[in-house]
Structure 1
Amino acid sequence: MRPLQNDGRSTMAQLGYTDVQIDLGSVTLTHRSPLDIPEIALLLQEKGFELISDSEAILLEKIKTNLVELVHPDSVQQDVNISIVLSRKLHRDYSYLSKLFSRREGISIEKYAIKLKMERVKELVQMNQLNFTQIAYALGYKSSSHLSRQFKSVTGLSMSEYKKGHKRRISLDQIV
């Protein structure tokens, strides 16, 4: 699934919905009829999007969306506790969120968050605007050596090796 972005508003306007709220991974319609759901699902599918109606799947997407927001450099805080953030934002007990995520995705929330961070590191390295220490700080690491060890553990490459030519990245919606 890819997130609904710039063309999301025009996609919904094609169906006659102009009063929509679009956020990362979600669209909220203020007025709709249950009869509209199949038409919306079909149009979104044609555009490469996915309509999710299962409550657990919706919660999983909310977890993923919140994790993506946590790895963005402008929102990262030192010593951020993922379990507390997710529990507060999603109004659910973290153990429930963790068990649901692991059962449905086959990976723990923590490991998923690390994979997201490593993809963000790759992006920041490719942009070549920050040095490794700045990248580590931007992503909430206490030291660049900790980030470097984790990067090598996840990717099999040092950050320097990656910078020199291994520019392979994974789309965030393909991380599992």
Structure 2
Amino acid sequence: MILHIKNMVCNRCKMVVKAELEKLGFNPISVELGEVSLSENISADDKINIAQKLSHFGFELLEDKKTQIAEQIKTTIINLVHYTREPLKINLSSYLSKHLNLEYSTLSSIFSEMENQTIEKYFIAQKIEKAKEMLTYGELTLSEIAFQLNYSSVAHLSSQFKKVTGLTPSAYKGETVDKRKTLDEI
């Protein structure tokens, strides 16, 4: 049985979900961002117990198919932007269609309906959040950050950065207040 879980955005989330399921007596086969595979089917009462336990940590069981697809899109984008080192060699729409086995028009329509924003805006927001993280660490130049985030130029990154944050990357780096968001807040 597969459970779809909202707000799983990092490896610590996976560890927490796995630990909580084990405390409830389940042995997950695999725990991935947004999805848990269990070897056995679970009852409605078990689902309620799991939902209540996970809600204490900010997670939510997803029952609706559209909500599941929107979460899968978000998870795929988060993985792509924050955890994949390889540059994207195809456009985002082809990548998502291939990865999720659905036409992009379907994915785009569902995502916009469920999240009240386009996939592209969400993707840009994730990339800018990653840029903010990299700027905060100060280990890379803006050129290196632009390259790692698959921007065509530093100017393109700077333009999107300012559009999203209201600051240039240099101004952001000089700010003393941390304006970063957690991945599930984006």
Spell out, residue by residue over 1:50-99, the C-alpha distance to the aligned partner (whole angstroms, 9 max, x if none): 11111111111100001111212633425541100110111101001101
Q: Identity across aligned pairs (percent)? A: 38
Partner of 1:34: 43
How big is the alpha-carbon RMSD for the aligned residues of Structure 1 and Structure 2? 1.6
- CA drift at 1:104: 1.4
Cα contact 1:136–1:142 (8 A) shared by 2:
yes
Cα contact 2:146–2:157 (8 A) shared by 1:
yes
Distance in 1 (CA, whole Å) between partners of 2:173 and 2:146 is 15
Cα contact 1:76–1:140 (8 A) shared by 2:
no
| More displaced stretch, 73-82 vs 33-42 | 73-82
Distance in 1 (CA, whole Å) between partners of 2:144 and 2:68 is 34
| Unaligned stretches of 5+ residues in structure 1 | none
TM-score (normalised: structure 1): 0.92
Partner of 2:3: none
Distance in 2 (CA, whole Å) between partners of 1:146 and 1:47 is 37
Please give the residue correspondences for 1:1-176 in structure 2 after superposition, counting only pairs within 5 Å.
2-3=7-8, 4-35=13-44, 36-72=46-82, 74-165=84-175, 166-175=177-186
Counterpart residue identity of residue 107, structure 1 = Q
| Unaligned stretches of 5+ residues in structure 2 | 1-5
Taking a change above 3 Å as real, the CA distance of residues 79 and 144 of structure 1, as seen in their structure-2 partners, is farther
Counterpart residue identity of residue 157, structure 2 = L
Q: Structure 1 residue runs of 4+, over 3 Å off?
A: 73-76
TM-score (normalised: structure 2): 0.87
Distance in 2 (CA, whole Å) between partners of 1:167 and 1:39 is 37
